[in-house]
Structure 1
């Protein structure tokens, strides 16, 4: 096993490991270091750690040249905004108009375009890609790092960049953020552009942000919000950052059914105790905690065993299943995306082409069951999607209407309006309930933010999340930053089990 240098390189003698975007900008204004210096420092950090964590697949070969250009602009009195000169990373499936060979290629569309990872089987290795290998959780390398945006979360967690972008269909921003001790911010459906995206489902896909602080995640989200998708008179999200004093008089709901009751299971005692201590601190800071809150549709739309996007089909009700919508959307949206490419050297035009490609390269791509350790079941969800032929039949239409109604008006909105007085947010765990709350927000297309709280007994971080209705990202920033201020700091990665070398499976192995 190679010996890795886990220390953080100094930037012109300054320790930047825990500095926020505002702190970094302050140092650059003071002349302590430049954007070029900062970029070089992060590249050094990537070089020291990435062989261990495999969070970064590729860096922009022009990164330092771009930084020098931005330094020139600064000297000339030009500032593009609060992120001017701040290095960041994007999920590898985000195509960029530069020299990088992203997983899905590049295009001539706007500079930030989201490209979704494909739906994986229900038993597979979390955080593995054929191109980059197995991404690792820096807190415990023997535990999985979260969903498909885990590289972006890991990179922020260990200061390989100042902030990052990820994508989510159902949990792929929330889970990696929560498991890697950073803030994850998932906006409302449609608030970030998905033009130029390799989609999974236009009914669920969003671009989200990762930051060391709520302020950082909010600044990053401000930069990518789609014009015309919110109230243009509302100030930038970054302006809503607050302190713990904002909790005085705030009203939060604690939905018990399927959420906190699952978190209270005896085997989750350590995590539950620390989560409830965090809730008690919020209450002590002056907030009102409403415990008589539930989602009216909980029994109908939430799996009895945590995250599961196809459990209704197992009960004979595919017309209530999220996966019914996703598999159909994926077939159609992928075909539309592939037809829009300016160049397509592989001549892959349809999902059937991808399935054939994976079968021909099964040893690397896992296209046949039992041929690749990361995907023991092969590409069964691809095949289920292909079997749908993208037909938006009555089953599809009913499933979409059912999911949206049960997660929105009969779900989150109903809980927020508990007792006739609107709540300022719903406080939920991200992991301790098996992902039930995270999935509900994804189904609704509603915003959610998670704030680091502590670590489990195995060293993996966990946090407390806030849910809101569509378009109320401002409240998530206001109260997320207040809880962050109250909690005082995020856990630091200690690289437990640094010699671990195996696939990080999630889901239930068939027959178990």
Structure 2
């Protein structure tokens, strides 16, 4: 997709309906009521509720001169200072954020805004290289010198005028260190808490990015995923997360697990903002291309692939003053519901209610069970071990500190701080012993994974003539417990993650106080169609609500 198409699409998004991103969001917030433990989202910006405002609304105010990026950025920085001590989602804020905001304001005054993200504060997961700021993957091993250059995706954000607000905590090494990790914990940042119930887990590994968005600490955040690490935190923290088609967003400069599955992706409080962020992250400008990072393989999407049809995005079909879509874009859509009863009766009941709402909006919902899931579960982990050894060695060679996985294992053995929540590094040790990616057995394993994962979705969608497959993103959040570790065997993310197809989590509702997401999956490079469908689903379900920062609750499974 060329720059002209990107510019046309993003301009249309900004000009589109300013009401459809989170329908009736203000009414929902009032309905759920204020709580003394829930800081107001509108503090510091009269007429702007950070909990519910969308990027098009912010840009409309900036264009009129009634809002500046500097004021917006200062408000988010103050909110981080006030709210983040409850959840520990933000590791550090950028010392240049206010300068970047001031530069954006100058462009807006001159009528030279760079696009929809110009002046919009964005948080980056702390495994994304950011010049002048530590990039640690949560480990003290990388806490020394910052990387010399930005990741390609950060370069794109800067060129689009986004304000880099800071870095978010994550599950250390993206949850690929110990056999029984605790999601949201890192030696650098400690434990991130779920904003809805503080003793519950935020899910991994983009835990800080999702929790920060739920607490309205930034307008957009960047997460990364190998299998579930964007969509599960999004679901468990009641926000939106998009795992793009593999290769749509460059992985260059991002701490890896596997070039065969890794991707960065946008997260936000609504689908409109998520789509706008993706349009920037995926824009092809010849710098970094879609190489997928060190060790990338062929067959990837090209920058802009899958976005051509964002002109059909629901917020584009109405103009200011027009009635909102409210989910009418679902009429005639065919959605396959993969129930996953293993996630519990409460989640299953929520899926029943969700299907009823979608049918009422005109969608056809049929129950499906994608095939080959047991074989995918059997093959994925051994393949990732071999790929991690290859790709982490390549990345560590670009940084100061341990230069190989073997040196990293020794670092962890000699630094007690790395063992303060859980001591294990079994996955590191298994990766050292795994066959190399040149081994024929490994190659056969990855080929079978790619084939079966794609067939699991392609055959299901073709067999039922589906526009998308839907499934629960997550169970209710489990209690955080370093001694026990996670209970995160959540199979819904695997088919899209292994195949490289796109997936999108939107809020579906809650079990008690604990959010549950609806995961939508579509075919290869169908990102635009998936986002359009997700926006219609979001408008129909109207499931978003602000967190109340409860210390604990007896509702929902402790697992």
Decide whether the 8 Å contact of 1:139 with 1:494 is kept in 2.
Answer: yes
Query: Aligned with 1:221: secondary structure?
Result: helix
2:513 matched to 1:440? Answer: no
Decide whether the 8 Å contact of 2:335 with 2:468 is kept in 1.
Answer: yes
Alignment correspondent of 2:85: 51
Relative to structure 1, is the Cα distance of residues 126 and 234 closer, same or farther in structure 2, using a 3 angstrom cutoff? closer
Q: Return the offset for 1:246.
A: 1.1
Decide whether the 8 Å contact of 1:42 with 1:161 is kept in 2.
Answer: yes
Q: Return the offset for 1:360.
A: 1.0
Query: Aligned with 1:440: secondary structure?
Result: helix
Alignment correspondent of 2:505: 450
Decide whether the 8 Å contact of 1:119 with 1:200 is kept in 2.
Answer: yes
2:407 matched to 1:334? Answer: no
Q: Return the offset for 1:407.
A: 0.9
Relative to structure 1, is the Cα distance of residues 113 and 27 closer, same or farther in structure 2, using a 3 angstrom cutoff? closer
Distance 1:91 1:238 in 2: 29
Moved more, 349-358 or 389-398: 389-398
Aligned with residue 281 of structure 1, among 339, 352, 357: 357
Decide whether the 8 Å contact of 1:40 with 1:64 is kept in 2.
Answer: yes
Deviations 1:376-428 (A, max 9, x none): 4x11110111122635323211210121111112x011101015xx3100111
Distance 2:239 2:94 in 1: 24
Alignment correspondent of 1:369: none
Deviations 1:264-297 (A, max 9, x none): xxxx223221221111111111111222x33232
Deviations 1:162-204 (A, max 9, x none): 0110000111001100000001111111111011222100001
Relative to structure 1, is the Cα distance of residues 208 and 144 closer, same or farther in structure 2, using a 3 angstrom cutoff? same
TM-score by length of 2: 0.77
Alignment correspondent of 1:477: 531
Alignment correspondent of 1:400: 446
Deviations 1:480-512 (A, max 9, x none): 111111112402201111699xxxxx99xxxxx
5+ residue gaps, structure 2: 1-35, 137-141, 156-169, 285-300, 316-324, 476-487
Query: Aligned with 1:209: secondary structure?
Result: strand
Query: Aligned with 1:192: secondary structure?
Result: coil
Decide whether the 8 Å contact of 1:218 with 1:238 is kept in 2.
Answer: no
Deviations 1:58-78 (A, max 9, x none): 110111111011111111221
Query: Aligned with 1:125: secondary structure?
Result: coil
Alignment correspondent of 2:408: 354
Deviations 1:17-53 (A, max 9, x none): 2111111112222222200000000001000011111
Aligned with residue 365 of structure 1, among 418, 426, 430: 418
Decide whether the 8 Å contact of 1:166 with 1:209 is kept in 2.
Answer: yes
Q: Return the offset for 1:15.
A: 3.4
Relative to structure 1, is the Cα distance of residues 226 and 358 closer, same or farther in structure 2, using a 3 angstrom cutoff? farther
Decide whether the 8 Å contact of 1:126 with 1:148 is kept in 2.
Answer: yes
5+ residue gaps, structure 1: 303-311, 313-320, 367-371, 501-505, 508-512
Aligned with residue 130 of structure 1, among 187, 197, 221: 187
Distance 1:202 1:449 in 2: 20
Aligned with residue 120 of structure 2, among 86, 110, 113: 86
Distance 2:186 2:311 in 1: 34
Decide whether the 8 Å contact of 1:12 with 1:32 is kept in 2.
Answer: no
2:460 matched to 1:418? Answer: no
Decide whether the 8 Å contact of 1:127 with 1:151 is kept in 2.
Answer: yes
Deviations 1:189-228 (A, max 9, x none): 1111011222100001001111111111111111111537
Decide whether the 8 Å contact of 2:38 with 2:547 is kept in 1.
Answer: no
Alignment correspondent of 2:331: 248
2:17 matched to 1:8? Answer: no
Aligned with residue 108 of structure 1, among 128, 146, 149: 149
Deviations 1:50-101 (A, max 9, x none): 111100001101111110111111112211111110101010111112x222
Relative to structure 1, is the Cα distance of residues 379 and 156 closer, same or farther in structure 2, using a 3 angstrom cutoff? same
Give runs of aligned pairs for residues 90-489 of structure 1, distance below 5 A.
90-97=124-131, 99-103=132-136, 104=142, 105-110=146-151, 112=153, 117=174, 119-225=176-282, 227=284, 229=302, 235=308, 237=310, 240-241=313-314, 243=325, 244-255=327-338, 259-263=339-343, 268-291=344-367, 293-302=368-377, 312=378, 321-339=379-397, 341=398, 344-346=399-401, 348-361=402-415, 363-366=416-419, 372=420, 374-376=421-423, 378-388=424-434, 390-409=436-455, 411-419=456-464, 422-432=465-475, 434-457=489-512, 459-489=513-543
